[in-house]
Every structure is written in C-alpha cells, then in structure tokens.
Structure 1
C-alpha cells in the first residue's frame, strides 16, 4: 500500500492504486448523493440533466450541472498540471502530489462542510466533489493495456461484456488471428466494479452516521498512501540545500 505512488509503474501497482481510488470514488459519489441528491462522478447523467433542464426551462438546474461539469474538467486539468510539474523536475512524488492535493482537500472538506449554510451547501458539495472526481480520474487511465476510469463504471462494465463475449467465442482451428478472452482482465474489472459498489455503501451509511466527517478517514488513507515518496523528495531537497562542511583543514600556513 505504501508503494502505490512510486514513479516505477507496473501493472500490479496500477491495479492496486486503481482499487484504492475506486473505493474512494464510490464513497464520495454516495456522500454527494445522500447529502445533496447529486451523483458527482456521473458526467453523462449531468450533461443529460442539463439538456433536460434547458428544455423544461429550469435555469437553476442548468447552472448546477454546468458547475459540476466545469469542476470535473478543472480537476483533470489540475491533475495534468501537478503531475507534469513533478515529472519534468524528476520528482518521485509525481503521483503522490495528486493524492496529497486530493487528501488535503478532502480533509478540509470533511471538517468544514457541516458548517455550510443550506443555501450554499449544494453548490460547494457539487463543486468540491466533482473537482476531486476529475482530479483522481485523470491519475490512473490505464492498467497495462486496459483503459480504466476509477470514478465511473460504464466503461468497465462494457469491457467485462466484451471480454466475456471473446471468451465464449470459439475461433476456427486454422484462424490466423484467433479470438482469445482475458479472464484476468474480467476478474480485475469485476473487482473494481465491486469496490465502487462497496465504497458507495460505505459512503452512504457513513454519511448517515457521521455526516461529512466520513470523508476524513478517506483523506487520511490518501495521505498515508502518498507520504513515502513525498518524504523522500523533501529529504533529498533538504540534503541538497544543506551547506557542506569542509572535508579538510585547508593549507597550512608557512612558518
């Protein structure tokens, strides 16, 4: 768990990080729905609801949808900026910086959101959670050759169906390019779908029990995952800036 943000990426490491982020997405998505009746990871539904709201003459719903869509895009933009800033400088924390940003944001949100007035709560919750979804959705985009998004499961369910179809198909014995299913891919994607579901249950039940403070443990987990490469980069930066002591006594004066 503590090596998930290493810059040396492997299929297994990406899968484990995707698992952690999928649980987080499920929790935050359910918190948003139970708190303000908005699924903050579902951009397809949000865009569709904006179109419906325009047709029905409901400008307030159009504005909320536009806020959600804009915040999600800005989260992805922030992920790209922060990640590439670290990559260009050769930082080991290029992945961890994203989780640091998300973790600190969730920590502040969890501690302060209950103080929001009802009139502002929906706007803030939708904006913050959609930004967070866009941020982490852009972090892990592939597991090996598999495209994956940790904040929604439509693509993953589609790929599961495709892989099941490939596994059921029987290629002719003399086929030059036989169709071969990937059971490991089915298992991995099904596991991510299940984790999103379990995260959703945990988020809904946790919000009913604790309110917005349910995201504080989520923030703590993200910061725990991110801390090792961050600490290493900070230590190396401190060592580079520390003045070096003279190694010798210098030349002796002539008598």
Structure 2
C-alpha cells in the first residue's frame, strides 16, 4: 500500500489503501461527532462556522475555528513535506512517516480522553484540533502517494466525482472503459468503507468511549505492516545474495 509511488501503483494497492484509510476516517469522524459534536474528517463545515462567528462577532470562537483550520492545513503540509524530504531514504519510509505521526497523536488522544478528559471547553478544543491535524495528515498522505486518485477523509468531492463518473458509465454514447470501471470501483470502496467505519466507530465509542480510537490505530498499524514485511524480506534476500556476488567478482 505504501511502498510504491503514484506512477507504479496498481488498482489493488489503491483499493486497499482506500478501504483502510476510509474506514479510519469514518471511525474518527463519527467518534468525534459523538464526543464533541464536531466533524473532524473535513473542514467544509468549519469554514462556514468561521464565517458565521466573524459576522456575529464571537471572537473567541473565531480564533478557535481558525486554529482548527490551520491544524488541518498544517497536517496536510507536514505529510507532503515529510514524503518529499525522506524520499531519498526510500519510498516506503517516506510514505510511512506521516502514518507513524498519526498513530502517535491518536494514541495520546485515546489515552487522555479515556483516563483524564473532564469535558472542559479547553480540553474539547485541543482534542478536536488534534483530530483535525490527524485527518489533514492522512488525507494529504493518501492523496500524495496515490497521485490524487484516492481521497478518504471527506465525501463531498467523492459524491461529485461519483456522480460525474456514473453519468459517463450510464450515458449511451460514452464507452465503458476499464479505467472508468476502476474509478467507480474505487469510489464505491471509499464510500462503503467510510460508512462501515462510521457505524463501527459509533458503536465502539458508545461502548468504550475514547478507546474506540485504538481501532483507527490498529488499522494504521496494518497499513504500515502490510508493506513492512515485504520490505524486510526484500532487504534480507539482498543481504543473503550479496556475498555470492562478491565471491563471483573476486573469482
């Protein structure tokens, strides 16, 4: 899922990446709505709230929403910056770096929320900001490594693309190409797993509160582990074969 760049990715790898990260986004968003009455997988609603609070002159709320927007933006910036900066050390490492950061931040949120959260306004504002940062990080990571093909933290653009592509698929003049079929499969995968993630996340949060975020962490660990085993195996094979090449060169 993470090892290959956008030019070499297969439809299977994009589908796996879409399914896992969309379910993670669904869990996060629904859990956040239940806990804080705030959406965290996208910032569309927050932009509207920002404008509303400016008009009403509620400057504290304006400041908080602005910080939330900037945290989502910073997450997106950081993911792409890390991928570009670490690319020389290997695609897998550079693509996995944002995932490790997201796992770390979500772990802090899950532990703090379960053991220490007292439902104060300041705590709520900080935890929502942390989740928005994670979702900006994840969305940018997924979009960057897939070349913009996969986006899994919001469904507004998904429905727009899905509507346009369904129109092409059903239109009597437009040919039903393999590429169009793959795009539709990808869109429905994202939508389906986002909904499944939301249902599972909502049930787990109502039953186990903030520990539900460990479901997201487990999904992200699977994303990292899926390619890690292949990378380690490949490096091990190289080390085993290297002495044989050295012997041949010496002979």
* Cα deviation 1:139-183 (Å, max 9, x = unaligned): 122797873321001111111111121123223xxxxxx555623
The residue aligned with 2:150 is 148
Query: Which of 4, 7, 14 is residue 7 of structure 1 equivalent to?
Result: 4
- Residues 167 and 146 (structure 1), Cα distance of their counterparts in 2 relative to 1, 3 Å cut: farther
Match of 1:243 in 2: none
Rate the CA distance shift 1:53–1:78 in 2: closer, same or farther, 3 A: same
Greater mean alpha carbon deviation, residues 94-103 or residues 135-144: 135-144
Displacement, 1:133?
0.5
* Alignment pair present for 1:54 and 2:51: no
Q: In structure 1, what is the Cα distance between the partners aligned to 2:20 and 2:149?
A: 17
For structure 2, the residue ranges without an aligned partner over 5 or more in a row are 240-251
Q: What does residue 118 of structure 2 align with?
A: 117
Contact 1:11 1:144 in 2 (8 A): no
- Checking the alignment, whether the CA contact within 8 Å between 1:107 and 1:220 is kept in structure 2 is no
Give, in angstroms, the shift of residue 20 of structure 1: 0.4
For 1:92 and 1:146, locate their aligned partners in 2 and report how far apart those are by CA, in whole Å: 18
Change (3 A) 1:146 1:70: closer
Q: Which residue of 1 aligns with 2:218?
A: 220
| Separation in structure 2 between the aligned mates of residue 128 and residue 106 of structure 1, nearest angstrom | 8
2:167 to 165, 168, 184: 165
Change (3 A) 1:157 1:69: same
Question: Structure 1 residue 31 and structure 2 residue 31: aligned?
Answer: yes
* Residue-pair matches, total: 231
Please state whether the residue corresponding to 1:147 is helix, strand or coil. coil
Partner of 1:83: 83
Q: Normalising by the residue count of structure 1, what TM-score does the alignment of the two structures yield?
A: 0.79
CA distance in 2, matches of 1:169, 1:229: 39
Deviations 1:15-41 (A, max 9, x none): 211210010001111111111110012
Say which SS state the counterpart of residue 134 (structure 1) adopts: helix
C-alpha distance in structure 1 between counterparts of 2:106 and 2:97, whole Å: 14
Q: Is the 8 A contact 2:20 2:219 kept in 1?
A: no
